[in-house]
Amino acid sequence: METDFRALSRGPGTLSARQRAGDRYADVGRLLITCPDRPGIVAAVSSFLFAYGANITESQQYSTDPFGGTFFLRVEFHLDALADRFDDLLEGFAQLADRFSMRWKMTKAADLKRVAIMVSKADHALQEILWRAHWGELRADIVMVISNHRDAEQAAAGWGIPFRHIPVSRENASEAEAAQLALLTGKTDLVILARYMRILSPHFLSAYTEPIINIHHSFLPAFAGADPYRQADNRGVKLIGATAHYVTPELDAGPIIEQDIVRVDHRCSVDQLRQLGRHVERAVLARAVSWHLADRLIVHQNKTIVFT
Amino acid sequence: METDFRALSRGPGTLSARQRAGDRYADVGRLLITCPDRPGIVAAVSSFLFAYGANITESQQYSTDPFGGTFFLRVEFHLDALADRFDDLLEGFAQLADRFSMRWKMTKAADLKRVAIMVSKADHALQEILWRAHWGELRADIVMVISNHRDAEQAAAGWGIPFRHIPVSRENASEAEAAQLALLTGKTDLVILARYMRILSPHFLSAYTEPIINIHHSFLPAFAGADPYRQADNRGVKLIGATAHYVTPELDAGPIIEQDIVRVDHRCSVDQLRQLGRHVERAVLARAVSWHLADRLIVHQNKTIVFT
Amino acid sequence: METDFRALSRGPGTLSARQRAGDRYADVGRLLITCPDRPGIVAAVSSFLFAYGANITESQQYSTDPFGGTFFLRVEFHLDALADRFDDLLEGFAQLADRFSMRWKMTKAADLKRVAIMVSKADHALQEILWRAHWGELRADIVMVISNHRDAEQAAAGWGIPFRHIPVSRENASEAEAAQLALLTGKTDLVILARYMRILSPHFLSAYTEPIINIHHSFLPAFAGADPYRQADNRGVKLIGATAHYVTPELDAGPIIEQDIVRVDHRCSVDQLRQLGRHVERAVLARAVSWHLADRLIVHQNKTIVFT
Amino acid sequence: METDFRALSRGPGTLSARQRAGDRYADVGRLLITCPDRPGIVAAVSSFLFAYGANITESQQYSTDPFGGTFFLRVEFHLDALADRFDDLLEGFAQLADRFSMRWKMTKAADLKRVAIMVSKADHALQEILWRAHWGELRADIVMVISNHRDAEQAAAGWGIPFRHIPVSRENASEAEAAQLALLTGKTDLVILARYMRILSPHFLSAYTEPIINIHHSFLPAFAGADPYRQADNRGVKLIGATAHYVTPELDAGPIIEQDIVRVDHRCSVDQLRQLGRHVERAVLARAVSWHLADRLIVHQNKTIVFT
C-alpha cells in the first residue's frame, strides 16, 4: 500500500473563486506531450500558457536522452473560463506542437471520462473501483458494467450502475463480442478489465480503439497466462504480485502501468494465495486507473511514463 | 499491504470426511494459554490432546523469559465430533490448567463470534469489514451496525445487516450509551469501532465486558487524540499510519494489535492525507479483527501477543 | 527499502561529448527556487535558461497554493562549458530572481560538497554512508569523521577518511565543541550526525552555519529523546522507525527529510529492536543525505520539499 | 526492509546462569523434523525433551495436510550441560525418530557453521554478510572468501578473512573448480554465492555436498539467466527484485528461500536498476543466510519451509 500516495486525485490545494463556487476541477487543463528532445521545449510551452494567462500548477517531464532522445511533458494549469477558451487554446497550441513535432493531448479536468468495467465472477476489483469512485478518488463517469456472468449484478446495482449481462461461450464468442462492441463503441473512453476472465479477440482489440486496462493476477512477466496463483504455488515463490497493464493483442504483454506484491509463505495454499492476491489486485488496478483518468500516463515503445 | 498474508483465515489445507461434507471449520478447536513458564507445558498439553485423539494442526508459543517468565501458547487442533465431546474436553483440560496455573480459553472454530460494528459518517472501514466477511476472509456473525449518523445506513442495508441509528449529542450522551448497551449486552461478543468518532465513557467501558477494537487514524503513540491527519500535516511527517487497538479507559492507549503506514509527501494536503489514510485504516482494522476472530490474540500487560 | 528508488544518484542517462570524455556531471547545473506563486515563473526561468542555450533535463515544482501561496522549483540543466559561464549565469539570474522575489541557489553538479560525519560508538550508519560513497551513490567529498569514541576509527581508516577523536564529557563539553567547530567551520558544507549520541549545544548550532542532518532512531514525533527503542518496547508498537531530519535547536523537532519503518512483533526484545532499527536507520539516513547532496531539498516552515 | 524482523538472530531473551557466564547460545539445542503427519508427533517430541529436563523455548510446525500429508517441526530448547549430554540425546532421539519415520537433524546453537563466500567483482553482498557477522546478526565462522577476481580482496582483508584468488576462464574452468573444491570440501558447511558470476558445473555441485545459497538479481522466475536488470528494463516493469535460493543443477531453479523487491520507475536506466537492485540483493541474501545459519529452513519438494 506504500505507493497509494501516488494515486491521489490531486486537485489544487486551494481554490479559485470559480472553483470555490462549484467544481474544483473547473478551469483546470492538462497537457500531455511527446516529442524529440531539444532545448527550448519547456520555455515554449510555458510561455505559450503564460501568454493566455494560465497558471501552471503542476509540471513533470522526462527525457530518454537529452541529446537526441524523446521528451515527455505533463503540465496541469489553471485558466479562468477554460471551457470558453478551450478551442482557442487548442488551435493556438497546434501551431506550437507542429514546430516541435509533438504528439500531444490537451484535456479539461472537468470532463469526466466515460468508463465501462468488464468483469466475470470475482467482484473485488469491481467493488474497489466503484468504491473509490464513490469516495471521489476516481473521477470518472462509470456508464456500465458488462459481465459474462450474473455474480456482479447486485454489486453494480448497489451503486446504481447499469449492468449488462452478455454470456460468452466458445460457440457464441464472436456474437458476444459484437454485442459488447455495440455497447462500448463511441460510448466509452476507457474499458477496465476488472478480472474479466475471457481473452478479447484481435478483432475486438482492433474494433475498440480506446484504451483498455487489465489487471493480471501475477507479477508479470512471471506467470503470464492461466491460473498464475497455481503457477506461483508450484514454484514456491515468497511474494505474489499483480500487474495492471494496457491491453495489446499479445496476451499479458502490453505496457505495464503498475505492479505491487504481497508476501506469502510456505503455509499458503493456492486458495489462500488467491485470497491474498485479491487485495493487491484491487489496489494495483485502482492506482493504474486513477493515473489514466488524470491523464498521467504516456505509452512509449511498450513502456509507460507515469507522471504522479 | 505487505502483511496481509498474516491475516489469512487459515483453515486446514485439506479436509476430513466430515469437513468435506460440510463446514471446513467443523471439528476444529482452538486453545489459548497464558501461564508461568516452566519445562513440560507443551508436553502436557500435547499429550492431553493426543489422549483424546486430537491432531494438532497449528501451534505457536512465546515466552517472555524461559527462566521465570510468562508462557503463551496457541494450539489449533482437529478432533472428530468435537462438538459432542467439547464439554468433556473442557472439563479434562481444567484439571491440567490448574496444575500449571493457566489462564486459558478453548473455542470451537465453527462457533461464529457475534459482532457489532459502530461507525459515524465515514464508511470505508465498515465497508471493508462487510466486504471481507462476504468474501469469507472474516468469519463472524455480524449482527448489527450502530451509528450516530445515517450516512452508513445504505451500506449496511446493501449487505443485509440491521442498522441501528442512535444519535448522540452532548445532552443525550448517557441515554445514547444506555441505548447502545441495551443492543449490545449479551448479544455480541465483540464491538468494532470502525471510525466511530465519539469517545465511549468509562461507564460504557465497564458495563460492556466483551472486547472492543478501535481503529485510530495515526501511527500511535504519535498523534493521539483529535484530528491526527492535521497533526501529521503540521509536523511534516513523511509517513502516515493507522493503529488498531483494544479499547481501554485511557484514550488511544490500549494494547496495540496492528499498525501500518503509507508514504506521503510535501504535496499532500490534510484532505489528501485523510484520503490516503483511509486505505491503511481499513486494511489495518481488517487484519486486527481477523486475528481476534480466529483467537490469535492474547493481551498481556498492555501489549498483544499475535500468533499468526 | 521500497523508496530507495527515490535516492538514485540520477545523472543524465546519456552523455554529451564533454561528459563522455570525463565527468558525467560536468556541465550539469541545478537551480532551486522559492518565491511567491504567480503566473509566469516557469516561463521566465525556462526562457532565461533557453536564452543561454541550456537544456532543461529535469524539472519539478510545487506550490502551497496557486492563488497566493509559495512556489518551489528545482531545475537541472545542461549547459556546455558551464564552469566558464557560471558567473555570468549567476549574474543574469539574479536580476530575474529579483523580479520574482526569489530565494534561490544555483549549483554546479560537478562541485562536490565537503562533508564531515560525526559518530559515537555504533558504526552502521557511518559504514553505510562510506559504502554508498564508495559505490558512487553518494557524491560527496567526505573530509573527516569526528567521534567522541575510538570505536569507528578503523572503519574510517578502511576507507582512507581522516578520523578525529574528540572525547566529550560533561566537564569538557564546551572545549570539545570548540575543537569540533575548529575542524568544521569553513571546511565543510554539511555535517552528518550518523548516530552521534551527544546533543549539540545552541552555541554550536549558531556557530556552525551549514546544514546538519541527524538520524533519529524512531518514527518521530513518536519517541523523541533518549532510548527510543526502549520507549517503543514499552508501548508495544508493531512497527519501529527512523527519521532523518535537519538539526534545529529544539531537540528532534527539526524539518523531517525522510522516514521509514520496519515491522516488529511481540517476540522482539529491546536489543532486537536496536538490531532491526539499525537497518532502517542507515537506509533512511543514506536517502536523506543523497537528496541533500543532489540539491533536492528545500526547507519551508519546518517542513521539507523533497524533489526526487 | 519490511521483513528484516524475521531475520533476527533470536536467542533467549534472558539467560540461564551458564549463559550469563559465557556464551548465550550455550545449552541451546535445535531440532528439525520432517515426517508423515499423524496424531501424537508433538506429544512424543515434547515428552522426550521433557524427560531429559529440556525446556522448549521456541517451536514451530507446519503440515501440508493433517490427513496424510507431511509434517515439519522446528524446536529450539534449552538443556543444562547440553554439550555433555548431546550424544546421549542423539541416541535417544534416533529411536523416537525411527518410530515416526522422521528425517531429522539436531544441532547445538553454540556450534558455528563454517562458511565460505564466493564472489566476483561486485562486493556489496559480500560486505553486507561480513558486516552483519561483525554486528553479531549472522552467527558463523567465515573461513574464507574465494573470488575469480581481485576486486574484493581488500574488503575481505578489512575483516581479517582469508582471501583466495582463483581466476576462472573458459580454458581452466575444471582446474579452477578442482582448486575451489580442494579449499571447500570438508572445511566448510555452507557456501554463499554473493554475486559469483560463474555457473558452477554439475560436477562441482555433485562433488560439494553441503548446501550452497545463491543470490539472483531478479524476482524469480522472472528474468532468470543473464543480465536480469537489462531484461527488466526491456519489459518496463515497475518493481525489480532479488531472490535467494539453494543452488541445484538447473540454473536459477532451486528452492527459493527469500525474495524482495524495490520500486522503480520509467526514469531508471539499466545502470540505475543495478544500483537499486544492489540494496535488495544484499538484504535478501543476508536474511536467507541468517535463517540457514539458525537452522530455520527445511527443503521439501523444491520449496522451502521457513520457520522464523
DSSP character string of B73-122 = EEEEEE-TTHHHHHHHHHHHHHHHHHHTT-EEEEEETTSPEEEEEEE-S-
Q: Is C49 on the interface with A (CB under 8 A)?
A: yes
Cβ–Cβ of A67/C40 closer than 8 Å? no
Q: Is B62 on the interface with C (CB under 8 A)?
A: yes
pLDDT tens sequence across D215-273: 999 999 999 999 999 999 999 999 999 999 999 999 999 999 999 999 999 999 999 99
Same domain, A56 and A138: no
CATH number of the domain that residue B97 is part of: 3.30.70.260
Cβ–Cβ of A279/B13 closer than 8 Å? no
Q: How far is CA B172 from the centre of its chain?
A: 29
Q: Which of A163, A208, A164, A203 is nearest to A186 (CA)?
A: A208
Q: What is the ipTM of this complex?
A: 0.93
Chain A residue numbers touching B283 (CB-CB < 8 A): 1, 279
Check: pTM over 0.90? Answer yes or no. yes
pLDDT tens sequence across D81-130: 999 999 999 999 999 999 999 999 999 999 999 999 999 999 999 999 99
- Find the closest chain D residue to C155 by CA distance: D158
Chain B residue numbers touching C241 (CB-CB < 8 A): 239
What pLDDT is attached to residue A67?
83
Out of C37, C189, C252, C295, pick the active-site residue.
C252
Q: Is B3 on the interface with C (CB under 8 A)?
A: yes
What pLDDT is attached to residue A1?
41
Q: Is A248 on the interface with C (CB under 8 A)?
A: no
Contacts 24+ apart (CB under 8 A), A269-274: A269/A233, A269/B13, A270/A229, A270/A230, A270/A233, A272/B8, A272/B10, A273/A229, A273/A232, A273/A233, A273/A240, A274/A217, A274/A229
Cβ–Cβ of D13/B55 closer than 8 Å? no
Residue C302 to chain A, least CA–CA distance (Å):
19
Rg (CA), chain C: 21
Residues of B classed as catalytic = 252
Q: Are B1 and B41 in contact (CB under 8 A)?
A: no
> What average pLDDT does the segment C279-293 reach?
98
Q: Which residues pair with B261 in a beta bridge?
A: B241
- Find the closest chain B residue to C308 by CA distance: B265
Chain A residue numbers touching C64 (CB-CB < 8 A): 13
What pLDDT is attached to residue A19?
58
Q: What angle do CA B137, B143, B148 make, to 5 degrees?
A: 110
The proportion of chain B whose per-residue pLDDT surpasses 90, expressed as a percent, equals: 89
pLDDT tens sequence across C110-146: 999 999 999 999 999 999 999 999 989 999 999 999 9
Structural domains of chain D, count: 2
At C5, is the pLDDT very low, low, confident or very high (cuts 50, 70, 90)? low
Determine what percent of chain C falls in helix, strand and coil, rounding each to the nearest 5: 35, 25, 40
State the burial class of residue D209 (Cβ atoms within 10 Å of its Cβ: 0-12, 13-18, 19+).
exposed
- Find the closest chain C residue to A17 by CA distance: C67
User: How long, in residues, is chain C?
Assistant: 308
pLDDT tens sequence across B32-50: 999 999 989 999 999 999 9
Q: Are B243 and B220 in contact (CB under 8 A)?
A: yes
What pLDDT is attached to residue C67?
83
Cβ–Cβ of A14/C39 closer than 8 Å? no
Please state, as a whole number, how many other Cβ atoms lie within 10 Å of the Cβ of residue C95.
9
Determine what percent of chain D falls in helix, strand and coil, rounding each to the nearest 5: 35, 25, 40
Q: Is B158 on the interface with A (CB under 8 A)?
A: yes
Q: Is A50 on the interface with C (CB under 8 A)?
A: yes
pLDDT(B11) > 60: no
- Find the closest chain B residue to D40 by CA distance: B50
C-alpha–C-alpha distance, residues C32 and B166, integer Å: 55
C-alpha–C-alpha distance, residues B290 and A273, integer Å: 17
C-alpha–C-alpha distance, residues A101 and A103, integer Å: 7
Domain that holds residue B294: 113-306
> What average pLDDT does the segment B250-263 reach?
96
What pLDDT is attached to residue B290?
97
Same domain, C46 and C178: no
Cβ–Cβ of B220/C221 closer than 8 Å? no
C-alpha–C-alpha distance, residues A121 and B39, integer Å: 52
Q: Give me C282's grid cell.
A: 542507515
Q: Is D160 on the interface with A (CB under 8 A)?
A: no
What pLDDT is attached to residue A16?
56
At C1, is the pLDDT very low, low, confident or very high (cuts 50, 70, 90)? very low
**Residue B22 gets which letter from DSSP?**
S
| Range 106-125 of C in CB contact (< 8 A) with D | 124
pLDDT tens sequence across C145-193: 999 999 999 999 988 999 999 999 999 999 999 999 999 999 999 999 9
Same domain, A47 and A156: no
Q: Which residues pair with B257 in a beta bridge?
A: none
Q: Is D241 on the interface with A (CB under 8 A)?
A: yes
User: What sign has the CA pseudo-torsion A145, A146, A151, A153?
Assistant: positive
At B9, is the pLDDT very low, low, confident or very high (cuts 50, 70, 90)? low
Q: Is C1 on the interface with D (CB under 8 A)?
A: yes
> What average pLDDT does the segment B114-121 reach?
98
Same domain, C118 and C62: no
Q: Cα separations (Å) of D230 from A303, D269, D274, D276?
A: 14, 9, 9, 13
What pLDDT is attached to residue D304?
98
Q: Which of B291, B94, B12, A290 is nearest to D62 (CA)?
A: B12
Same domain, D181 and D282: yes
C-alpha–C-alpha distance, residues B56 and B50, integer Å: 8
Same domain, A127 and A36: no
What pLDDT is attached to residue B158?
85
The proportion of chain B whose per-residue pLDDT surpasses 70, expressed as a percent, equals: 93
Residue A230 to chain B, least CA–CA distance (Å):
14
pLDDT(B241) > 80: yes
Domain end position, chosen among C58, C92, C108: C108
At C19, is the pLDDT very low, low, confident or very high (cuts 50, 70, 90)? low
Q: Which amino acid is residue C277, in one-letter code? A: G
pLDDT(B2) > 50: no
Q: Which residues pair with C305 in a beta bridge?
A: C298
Residue A106 to chain C, least CA–CA distance (Å):
19
Q: Cα separations (Å) of D65 from A235, A267, B14?
A: 19, 10, 6
Residue with cell 493504474: A288
Instruction: Check whether the bond before D228 is cis (ω within 30° of 0).
Output: no
- Cβ–Cβ pairs < 8 A, chains C and D: 73
Q: Give me C4's grid cell.
A: 530507495
Q: Are D287 and D128 in contact (CB under 8 A)?
A: no
Rg (CA), chain B: 21
Chain A residue numbers touching C56 (CB-CB < 8 A): 39, 42, 61
C-alpha–C-alpha distance, residues C211 and D113, integer Å: 46
Please state, as a whole number, how many other Cβ atoms lie within 10 Å of the Cβ of residue D51.
11
Q: Which of B183, B127, B188 is nearest to B152 (CA)?
A: B127
Residue D193 to chain B, least CA–CA distance (Å):
28
What pLDDT is attached to residue A215?
98
Same domain, C163 and C271: yes
Q: Is D46 on the interface with B (CB under 8 A)?
A: yes
Q: Is D40 on the interface with B (CB under 8 A)?
A: yes
Q: Are A256 and D235 in contact (CB under 8 A)?
A: yes
- Find the closest chain C residue to D137 by CA distance: C275
Same domain, D172 and D273: yes
Q: Cα separations (Å) of D77 from A296, B37, C1, D32, D80?
A: 56, 13, 34, 12, 10
Domain end position, chosen among A108, A135, A170: A108
C-alpha–C-alpha distance, residues C173 and B259, integer Å: 41
C-alpha–C-alpha distance, residues A152 and A195, integer Å: 11
Same domain, D233 and D125: yes
User: What sign has the CA pseudo-torsion B152, A282, A231, B59?
Assistant: negative
- pLDDT, chain A, mean: 93
Q: Which of B33, B49, B113, B32 is nearest to B85 (CA)?
A: B49
Q: Is B36 on the interface with D (CB under 8 A)?
A: no
- Select from C12, C47, C67 the Cβ nearest to the Cβ of A16: C67
Domain end position, chosen among D89, D108, D127: D108
- Find the closest chain D residue to A239 by CA distance: D259
Cβ–Cβ of C57/A47 closer than 8 Å? no
Same domain, D240 and D123: yes
> What average pLDDT does the segment A112-117 reach?
98
pLDDT(A38) > 70: yes
Please state, as a whole number, how many other Cβ atoms lie within 10 Å of the Cβ of residue B74.
23
At B12, is the pLDDT very low, low, confident or very high (cuts 50, 70, 90)? very low
Chain B residue numbers touching A9 (CB-CB < 8 A): 275
Chain B residue numbers touching C223 (CB-CB < 8 A): 221
Residue C239 to chain B, least CA–CA distance (Å):
7
pLDDT(A137) > 70: yes
- Cβ–Cβ pairs < 8 A, chains A and B: 72
Residue C157 to chain A, least CA–CA distance (Å):
38
What pLDDT is attached to residue D1?
41
Cβ–Cβ of B235/C256 closer than 8 Å? yes
Residue with cell 559515537: C120
D162-200 b/e (C-beta count within 10 Å ≥ 16 → b) = ebbebebeeeeeeebbebbeebbeeebbbbbbbbbebeb
* Residue A246 neighbours by CB under 8 Å, 6+ apart: A211, A212, A213, A214, A254, A255, A257, A299, A304
What pLDDT is attached to residue C306?
98
Active site residue C252: yes
Same domain, D70 and D139: no
pLDDT tens sequence across A219-237: 999 999 999 999 999 999 9
| Range 166-195 of D in CB contact (< 8 A) with C | none
What pLDDT is attached to residue C35?
98
Q: How far is CA B1 from the centre of its chain?
A: 18
Q: Is A295 left (phi over 0), alpha (psi -120 to 50) or beta?
A: left
pLDDT tens sequence across C222-244: 999 999 999 999 999 999 999 99
pLDDT tens sequence across A155-200: 999 889 999 999 999 999 999 999 999 999 999 999 999 999 999 9
Same domain, D141 and D262: yes
Chain A residue numbers touching C15 (CB-CB < 8 A): 67
User: What sign has the CA pseudo-torsion C298, B272, B133, A226?
Assistant: negative
User: Residue D68, SS3?
Assistant: coil
Residue A174 to chain B, least CA–CA distance (Å):
33
